[in-house]
């Protein structure tokens, strides 16, 4: 109580403050060392500590080992991923409990009581992953059909209109040659959206080596970034009409080299799996939505290969090409950026770190 009064906070706030300090000092020693050295603000260390208190000692040590050396520059999203991974690995019972609670919390709200002046209504909800992916696939297909039919609306507007089509059970007419064998009556007879839309579910699954030997967790996603319990994956794979596609493991250490200018699919996939995002300082745009840049321009003799390729979003790609920025590959997945005003930044999988400033 006396400490809280001296710090200008309530007793409850002081208890949480002291609790976070003790958590950092005794269960997150690497992060504590960063705080003591003045390299990490206590506010961020406290945020990490408040999320590791629910973990067993081994889980807290896991998070400390993963984040201690880069906590000052890693994103909050990455911190949450590591904490979630630690919970799935070291406290599977709690992780399963949270999974069941999340399933019970699924909902879909259509806020009909809050119609805007313009006649729009907000829709929000939390869906099962399979249902959400299927809904997204159906809406994307109907939005694409609207564009093919001549709609000039933006993608967001066409997706909203497609949701209405789904609600009314309407389907768009086929375009191209997909129904060329039938006449006009045949094409018009296809009015059921559920019959017209064929759902194809693709799950890219990356299992940690320990998961093969009974570890109760795995990671799933485009780049293996989100931890998912094995039980959840089992439910996905057991769903009707699910096709399981097993591909060989991509060797990220392989050196891919081609003679032409265009990046082949295997090089693009390798870049995405290594870098995850645009490699410009502090940019977080997903790599699969980025251009793939020649670090040394192709016109200046730069090869199209693993050691000269990196994902850059369109804006930062243009900035590098026309804005005076340049960067070098320090190692695969690690880059050194140079700004026109002499600033230098190191970018790697842990985030961005400003280096010493040099005037040109």
Domains, the chain, with CATH or none: 2-90 (no CATH), 127-195 (no CATH), 257-354 (1.10.30)
Cβ proximity of 162 and 143 under 8 Å:
yes
Summarised one tens digit per residue, pLDDT across range 121-146 is: 899 988 877 788 888 888 988 999 88
Task: Note the pLDDT of residue 169.
Answer: 77
Summarised one tens digit per residue, pLDDT across range 96-114 is: 777 777 667 788 888 887 8
Judge residue 90's burial from the number of C-beta atoms within 10 Å of its C-beta, 0-12 exposed, 13-18 middle, 19 or more buried. Answer: buried
Summarised one tens digit per residue, pLDDT across range 301-360 is: 889 998 999 999 998 999 999 988 999 999 888 999 998 888 899 998 888 888 875 555
Contacts of 138 (CB under 8 A, 6+ apart): 162, 166, 193, 197, 199
Nearest to 310 by CA among 293, 330, 327, 326: 293
Task: Note the pLDDT of residue 75.
Answer: 82
Nearest to 84 by CA among 95, 75, 73, 74: 95
pLDDT band for 240, please (50, 70, 90 cuts): low
The pTM score is 0.56
Task: Note the pLDDT of residue 215.
Answer: 53
DSSP-derived secondary structure for 225-242:
-EEE-HHHHHHHHTSTT-
Is 9's pLDDT higher than 70?
A: yes
Structure tokens at 337: 């950026």
Listed as own residue / partner, the contacts of 345-348 with beta carbons closer than 8 Å and 24 or more positions apart are 345/281, 347/279, 347/280, 347/281
Strands 205-206, 334-338: pairing is unpaired
Nearest to 160 by CA among 172, 175, 174, 142: 142
CA angle 153, 157, 161 (to 5 degrees): 110
């Amino acid at each position: 109580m006396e400490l809280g009064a001296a710090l200008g906070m309530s007793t409850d706030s002081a208890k949480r403050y002291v609790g976070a300090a003790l958590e950092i000092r005794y269960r997150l020693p690497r992060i504590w060392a960063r705080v003591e050295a003045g390299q990490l603000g206590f506010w961020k260390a406290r945020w990490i500590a408040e999320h590791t208190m629910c973990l067993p000692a081994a889980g807290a040590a896991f998070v400390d080992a993963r984040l201690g050396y880069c906590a000052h520059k890693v994103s909050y999203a990455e911190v949450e991923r590591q904490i979630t991974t630690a919970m799935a690995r070291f406290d599977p019972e709690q992780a399963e409990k949270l999974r069941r609670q999340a399933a019970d919390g699924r909902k879909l709200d259509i806020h009909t009581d809050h119609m805007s002046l313009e006649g729009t209504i907000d829709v929000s909800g939390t869906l099962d992953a399979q249902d959400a992916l299927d809904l997204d696939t159906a809406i994307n297909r109907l939005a694409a059909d609207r564009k093919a039919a001549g709609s000039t609306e933006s993608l967001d507007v066409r997706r909203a209109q497609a949701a209405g089509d789904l609600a009314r059970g309407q389907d768009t007419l086929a375009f191209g040659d997909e129904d060329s064998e039938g006449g006009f009556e045949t094409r018009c007879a296809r009015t059921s959206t559920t019959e017209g839309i064929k759902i194809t579910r693709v799950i890219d699954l990356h299992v940690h080596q320990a998961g093969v030997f009974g570890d109760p967790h795995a990671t799933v996603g485009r780049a293996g970034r989100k931890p998912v319990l094995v039980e959840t994956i089992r439910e996905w794979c057991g769903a009707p009409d699910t096709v399981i596609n097993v591909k060989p493991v991509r060797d990220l250490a392989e050196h891919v080299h081609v003679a032409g200018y265009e990046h082949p699919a295997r090089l693009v996939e390798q870049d995405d799996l290594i870098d995850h995002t645009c490699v410009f300082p502090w940019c977080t745009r997903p790599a699969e939505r980025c251009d793939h840049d020649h670090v040394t321009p192709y016109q200046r003799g730069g090869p199209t290969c693993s050691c000269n390729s990196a994902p850059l979003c369109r804006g930062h790609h243009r900035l590098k090409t026309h804005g005076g920025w340049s960067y070098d590959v320090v190692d695969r997945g690690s880059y050194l950026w140079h700004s026109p005003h002499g600033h230098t930044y190191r970018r790697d999988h842990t985030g961005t770190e400003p280096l010493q400033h040099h005037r040109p």
